[in-house]
């Protein structure tokens, strides 16, 4: 597609790390990309650099702090938070973690999918983690793993209600060198973004309702 016929994509947390790599990759793939961020003014330079738009998106805020996801053909729920504290302690900040990594994505999906279904095309990619996988021990620290496990469940449930042409999948980027992952991580942001880019641009016969790492199925 070219010009005004470009597919439109929204990437939450697209101003840095894996989110930025996903946004850059989608721009290079020919999509009209918007990054959703809490600080629009502070992220405008990044958006200009990667040739993307920018919109306010506070996943932990009130419902009206979220953008109109129905305008987009591709939704990438990338934004996340990690507090390494026992889940039963106040320092786990359970409500904030669940808002950013479950409730916010849920609201965006709920707003996006009806319009995607009406257009007969949609791709939703939820950035999850093997730390939220029961099959791999649910090893995520604090509330992080619980939120990712719930996001996986949301992925599967939402995929069953989405209309024809709409694909909803989750993926694990692996251990990536970001502010969250740290400098010792094995993968670059571009490597972490690769499976998300694949899922965001799936062909009509691509999978839906799955959980992937390196384009291969990962156990729930």
* Ordered per-residue pLDDT tens for the chain, 220 residues: 444 579 999 999 999 999 999 999 999 999 999 999 999 999 999 999 999 999 999 999 999 999 999 999 999 999 999 999 999 999 999 999 999 999 999 999 999 999 999 999 999 999 999 999 999 889 888 999 999 999 999 999 999 999 999 999 999 998 677 777 778 877 888 999 999 999 999 999 999 999 999 999 999 9
**18: enclosing H helix or E strand:** helix 17-28
Question: Domain locations in the chain?
Answer: 3-217
CA distance 134 to 125: 20
What DSSP string runs through 63-131? GGGS--GGG-SEEEE-------S-TTSGGG-HHHHHIIIIIHHHHHHHHHHHHHHHHT-EEEEEE--GG
- DSSP for residue 58: -
pLDDT at position 180: 75
Dihedral angle, C-alpha 26, 57, 188, 51, nearest 10 °: 40
Catalytic residue among 72, 106, 144, 211: 144
**211-213 β-sheet, strand order:** 53-56, 32-37, 8-12, 74-77, 122-127, 166-171, 211-213, 216-217
pLDDT at position 2: 42
CATH tag for 3-217 (out of 3.40.50.1220, 3.10.150.10, 2.40.170.20, 3.40.50.720): 3.40.50.720
CA distance 34 to 23: 8
CA distance 23 to 14: 6
Q: Is 121 a catalytic residue?
A: no
Summarised one tens digit per residue, pLDDT across range 168-195 is 999 999 867 777 777 887 788 899 999 9
pTM of structure: 0.94
CA distance 213 to 43: 29
Q: Is the dihedral of CA 26, 117, 60, 96 positive or negative?
A: negative
pLDDT at position 184: 81
CA distance 138 to 7: 35
119-to-12, 115, 161, 199 alpha-carbon distances in Å: 22, 6, 15, 19
């Amino acid at each position: 597609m070219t010009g005004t016929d470009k597919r439109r994509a929204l990437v939450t947390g697209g101003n840095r790390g894996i989110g930025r790599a996903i946004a850059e990759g989608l721009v290079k793939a020919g999509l009209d990309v918007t990054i959703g961020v809490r600080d629009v003014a502070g992220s405008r330079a990044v958006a200009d650099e990667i040739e993307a738009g920018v919109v306010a998106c506070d996943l932990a805020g009130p419902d009206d702090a979220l953008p109109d996801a129905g305008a987009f053909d591709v939704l990438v729920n990338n934004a996340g938070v990690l507090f390494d504290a026992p889940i039963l302690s106040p320092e786990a900040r359970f409500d904030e973690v669940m808002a950013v990594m479950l409730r916010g994505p849920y609201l965006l999906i709920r707003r996006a999918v009806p319009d995607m279904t009406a257009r007969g095309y949609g791709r939703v990619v939820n950035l999850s983690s093997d730390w939220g996988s029961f099959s791999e021990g649910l090893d995520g620290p604090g509330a992080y793993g619980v939120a990712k496990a719930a996001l996986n469940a949301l992925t599967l449930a939402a995929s069953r209600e989405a209309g024809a042409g709409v694909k909803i999948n989750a993926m694990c980027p692996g251990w990536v060198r970001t502010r969250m992952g740290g400098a010792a991580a094995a993968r670059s942001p571009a490597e972490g973004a690769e499976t998300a880019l694949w899922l965001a641009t799936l062909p009509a016969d691509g999978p839906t309702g799955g959980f992937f790492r390196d384009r291969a199925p990962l156990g729930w």
